[in-house]
Amino acid sequence: MIFFKIRYLLISFILFFVAILVFVISGLANGLSMNNASSIINMPVDAFYLQKNSDERLDRSHLEIDLGNFPVKGEAQPIGIQMGALSPLNSDDKLDVTFMAVSAGGFLEPDAIEGKGLETSAENSVLLDRSLKSETIKIGTRVKDARSGAMLKVAGFIDDQTYSHTPVALISIETWEAMSGGSESSELNAIVIKKDNPELKQGVSSLINNGEWVEKDKVVKGIPGFTAEQNSLYMMLSFLIVIAVFVLAAFFYIMTIQKTAQFGILKAIGAKSSVLVKSTIFQVILLTIVNIALAVGFTRGFMVVLPDDIPFIFDIVQIAKFSGILFLVSIFGSLLSVFNIVKADPIQAMGRLE
């Protein structure tokens, strides 16, 4: 009896740890994805107008834009991206940031979770991602751009705004031009539209030559390192699921072989093969559901104790999808042992017992 309990306990451990690995790697993939591109992913836009031959990369696109001749400013707005560094006033410490220039009060400006927005703050104000909030950087703190030396006043903090694994420093177009030496010498990276509008696209294309429209998903994938990171992590997940298929199939197969004599005896006293198959699959379903539920609970608790600097997102929709895949994998693994149940010979089994 103890042997059978240990056998089921081992299968439960395998299911449990495989599910944990799948859920944790999935959470890390989501976390890295958001840490790399949350500012673009959360941006309420449909498409980007980028410079041709920029390989669909926002940082490689440079457009000279006459802001006074925009067809519809409310629906199409310019955006500037520039990697840089900030230093708190009277400090030599430098913090890597991505400067993102948008129209103050426009649809590209996210709501501040603390403080005021760009439209109500003082000139040369900046909204920082909340990860930069510290004892030395608070609302009202003055910070200096390491490249231009321009002073900026922290007007507030915004949530989930990162680009290429650096926190975003959101500034207005006017501040961007001041940091670049004036409106005549400044360039912007793209024009974005909120909703698909062929007439508006045509108007922008005729106003600014040498550009092309790129969908938002492609711009996200064009962020340096984004595609390589995601492909690597999801390849690990794929291999893990394939390995799970073989391991679970082997365990269920061995378990069935060890019970062949019992299946034969049960057939000898009148049990049908279909009943034995259903009973075995029911046990697998029960084991799978219980262990996947325990793994989901463990992953949720694991997220709570993780340090803040490790990006991890518990996406319940994606967890549900992977739970479904693991459930199907377990069922598939158990089906390979059905053949042995059907072929179990009652006479041979009774002979073995004698």
Q: Is the dihedral of CA 17, 21, 24, 27 positive or negative?
A: negative
What's the 3-state SS for 219-286?
HHHCCCCHHHHHHHHHHHHHHHHHHHHHHHHHHHHHHHHHCHHHHHHHHHCCCCHHHHHHHHHHHHHH
Regarding pTM above 0.95, the answer is no
Asked if the model's pLDDT at residue 240 lies above 50, the reply is yes
- Encoding tokens for residue 33? 């994805």
d(CA 65, CA 60): 16
Asked if the model's pLDDT at residue 156 lies above 60, the reply is yes
What CA dihedral angle connects 340, 346, 349 and 350, to 10 degrees? Answer: 170
Q: Read off the pLDDT of residues 250-293 as tens digits, 9 standing for 90 and up.
A: 877 777 777 777 777 787 787 787 888 888 888 888 888 999 99
Q: Read off the pLDDT of residues 59-77 as tens digits, 9 standing for 90 and up.
A: 899 888 777 666 556 788 8
Query: b/e per residue, 132-170, with b = 16+ CB within 10 A?
Result: bbeeebebebebbbeeeebebbbbbbbebbbbbbbbbbb
What's the 3-state SS for 145-197?
ECCCCCEEEEEEEECCCEECCEEEEEEEHHHHHHHCCCCCCCCECEEEECCCC
Report the DSSP beta bridge partners of residue 156: 115, 127
Q: Read off the pLDDT of residues 118-144 as tens digits, 9 standing for 90 and up.
A: 865 556 889 999 989 888 888 888 898
Asked if the model's pLDDT at residue 110 lies above 70, the reply is yes
d(CA 205, CA 153): 36
The pLDDT of 313-337, averaged and rounded, is 86
Burial of 2 (0-12, 13-18, 19+ CB in 10 A): exposed
User: What pLDDT score was predicted for residue 69?
Assistant: 65
